[in-house]
Structures are given as C-alpha cells and as structure tokens.
Amino acid sequence: MKRTILVIEDNEQNLYLFTYLLKKAGYDIVQARDGAAGVEAAIRRTPDLILLDIQLPEMDGYTVFRELQARPELRAVPVVAVTSYAMPGDRERMLEMGFSGYFAKPIDPNAFPEDLKPLFDVQRGTDASE
C-alpha cells in the first residue's frame, strides 16, 4: 500500500514542488494550505508522515505541531518541519520540541525524497514545554 504524506504548506509553488516530487517518489499526497485545514486533514486521514511548513498564516507551524501533539491518536505520525528562515540552532530546537526531522528551504529536489525516507521511522518526541 502506498504511504500517505500530508503536506501543510501555504506557498503554492512549494506545495506544487513537494507534491510533484513526492508523488513521483511513489507517495499519496494530501494537501493542506493552512494550519486548521492541516490539523483537520491529519485527523481525518491519519497520514504516515506530515510535512509541516512553519511559516503559515493565522495558525503557524508551531501551533499546528502543538495541536497534533495534543492528539494521542496521531502520536505515531512523524512530523517533519520545513522552514525558510533557518536560524542557527533551529534544527536542534525543533528536534527538542519533538519534530522527527527538519529541512531548510530551499530544499534540494534531487535529494529530498531520499532524505525524507528514514524519517518515517523516527518517532515524534515529547514537547519538553508541555
């Protein structure tokens, strides 16, 4: 069975790129363009992995992440952060928060699907601030 990735991304170009690359790599893709729609889709579909843009309108990626953390039925779903404004220490901070992985934009389209693969098996951690 194909694995499903939920892509939560408000930028149409990025959404298109992720969808294109990951479909080509053999995944089913569910798209969400804002945080609320993303949380709703996660609950409805229970994807195998969630790719989460951090810079989202209204509900940002951190808030989306907390909403996901609050739902025990989604605990097993790895959440991978994608952010355009990478600051030193971002990766460490996000992994500490419980994200399963982290990518800085722009992603490398050639390496991305392969780099994502091992993250399906990375359990989400517990947010230390909970």
Binding site for Mn ion (CB under 5 A): 10-11, 53, 55
Q: How many CA atoms lie within 13 A of 32 on its CB side?
A: 26
* Residue position matching structure tokens 């951190």: 62
**CA proximity to 125, closest of 76, 53, 54, 63:** 76
> How, if at all, do strands 4-8 and 49-53 pair?
parallel
Nearer to Mn ion, 19 or 55 (CB): 55
- Residue with smaller CB distance to Mn ion, 85 or 121: 85
Concatenating the DSSP letter of every residue in 54-94 gives S--SSS-HHHHHHHHHT-GGGTTS-EEEEESS--TTHHHHH
Identity of the residue, 12 or 121, whose beta carbon is nearer to Mn ion in the bound complex = 12
CB of 26 to Mn ion, least distance (A): 25
Minimum Å gap between C-beta 118 and Mn ion is: 25
CB of 53 vs Mn ion, minimal distance in Å = 4
Minimal CB distance residue for Mn ion: 55
Minimal distance in Å, beta carbon 59 to Mn ion? 12
Nearer to Mn ion, 53 or 67 (CB): 53
